[in-house]
Amino acid sequence: MPAGGMELLSFLLQHAEARFYRVEVAENLFGEYSVSREWGPRGRAGARSGRQMLVWFSNLRDAVIAADNWRRHATQRGYRPERMAK
C-alpha cells in the first residue's frame, strides 16, 4: 500500500505449487487510485524474491475493475483465495 494511502480492497490468492498472488487497490493522498499486484514463491513475499507491479488510475471504478480482472485471471491459472490474517 502506498505510504499515507488507504487500502480499499485486497485479495490474497495461493497456488497449490507454493506460490502467492496478491492484488490490492489503494487511494493515495492526491485522490488517485493504484492497483498493486505482487506474486512469487510463498513464504518469501517481497521485492527480492517475487515480482511487483503498480498501475495508477484516476478513478476508483476503473481501479476496481482492473483488480477484479487480474484476480479472475489468477484464479483461472489455479490460484485460490486464502483468508488474510488480521
pLDDT of amino acid 85: 56
Is residue 10 assigned to a domain?
yes
- Residue 37 one-letter amino acid: R
**53 domain residue, yes or no:** yes
pLDDT at position 5: 54
Residue 2 has pLDDT above 50, yes or no: no
Could you read off the pLDDT of 14-59 as tens digits, one per residue?
Answer: 776 788 888 999 998 888 999 999 988 877 655 457 889 999 999 9
- pLDDT recorded at residue 13: 65
C-alpha cell at 10: 485486497
Sign for the CA dihedral angle at 39, 45, 51, 53 comes to positive
Asked whether residue 55 is assigned to any structural domain, the reply reads yes
Query: Residue 77 sits in which domain range?
Result: 6-81
Domains identified in the chain, total number: 1
Q: In this structure, is residue 86 part of a structural domain? A: no
Confidence of residue 1 (pLDDT cuts 50, 70, 90): very low
65 found inside a domain: yes
